[in-house]
Amino acid sequence: MALLVLTTSGCGYLFGDKGFFRDASEDYKKAPEMEVLQVPEGKSNEALQEIYYIPPVDEDMILAGEFEVPRPIPLVAGAADEIVRIQKLGDKSWAIISIAPGQLWPQVRGFLGAAGLQIARADARAGLMETGWVPLEGQTIASRFRFRIEQGVQRGTSELHVLQMSQTGDGENWPLSSDDVDQESEMLRGVAQYVANSTESAPVSMIADQALSAGGRISMQETDQGTTFIRVGLPFDRAWASLARALEASTFEITDRDRSNGVYYVRFIGSEEEDGGGWFDWLYGEEEHPMAGRDFEVNVTNESETSVAIALSVQADADAIDERERQALLVLIKGNIN
């Protein structure tokens, strides 16, 4: 009897509500809500950002009025089947890579290590990596390179920019553009090829992953009047060029364009294949898409130096479309903008 009492009391001491090994799985329900930590004036609060930030969902907009089940919209991945693509606009070139910035960061470090290039400075939070001075074959002047990683336009993608600097002048301040564009292009192609060959085994940098968002720079928004538009975090010249590619990939035919006023005049084709297999065949079967053959205007408007708004409207004297149809076409375009 005495042994039984000792055993029973021992279990309560070890595993009960007040025991040494008590069940703490419900403790979160008692956790108090604490006020946001106030940082003294003049001090940075960058290190106090939410670790598990949940971004707002802005794809599904509920319109006022009676609810109507919308037609399903096909998923658009743009050119996601291409892991690495090098794009050029004017004298600027960069690589679009279909992995998150936190995954690209160690890939770039791996490339520099494999190439024997010493890293003079690395800032994962800013997405910057700089090499020391490198004597290149066939060059009388040494060079150094800066690699800048940014979040891509689409979710889960990255952009890689390379800046070259020749060892002339003070050699301290980085130029706005490369001193030798050929060296920049050669370095960009080299790191892009390395990333393309080793993406499947790429590790992830937690610091870069937290500092560099993988949420993309494009979203669907609504005006105060309830009209849907696309917001893109790109300067006008790049957004204008990217939109042309996106319209063609989204089966729009560009009939005319007015860059000064930021307008594309387009006709929605819906499917470019006579024997089927187009974007919407799985939705409508043998029926033609209801928007096929309709003419539209796609307007690009500057919101700031680094952001534009893209809106779609019917051309003059054409029948209006409802807001759900506008949203469906804009989502299709949005998925192809990079």
Rounded CA separation 244/258 (Å): 12
Rounded CA separation 204/17 (Å): 40
Cβ atoms < 10 Å from Cβ of 118? 12
Contacts of range 127-133, beta carbons closer than 8 Å, 24 or more positions apart: 127/101, 127/208, 127/211, 127/212, 129/105, 133/167, 133/171
Q: Tens digit of pLDDT for each residue in 307-331?
A: 999 999 987 666 788 888 888 899 9
Dihedral Cα 306, 309, 310, 313, nearest 10 deg? -160
Q: Which region among 66-70, 78-82, 238-242, 298-302 has the lowest average model confidence (pLDDT)? A: 78-82
Q: What is the mean pLDDT of the chain?
A: 80
pLDDT band, residue 212 (cuts 50/70/90): low
pLDDT mean over 126-144: 90
pLDDT band, residue 131 (cuts 50/70/90): very high
- Which pLDDT belongs to residue 207? 58
Which class would CATH give 90-211?
Answer: alpha beta
What are the structural domain ranges in the chain? Answer: 90-211, 218-334
Q: What stretch of H or E contains 312? A: strand 307-314
Tell the CATH superfamily of the 218-334 domain. Outer membrane protein assembly factor BamC (3.30.310.170)
Q: Tens digit of pLDDT for each residue in 172-202?
A: 789 999 999 999 999 999 999 998 887 666 5
State the pTM of this model: 0.67
E-strand ranges in 156-278 read 158-166, 218-222, 228-232, 252-258, 263-268
Q: Tens digit of pLDDT for each residue in 71-108?
A: 555 545 444 456 888 999 888 899 999 888 888 998 99
- Which pLDDT belongs to residue 140? 87
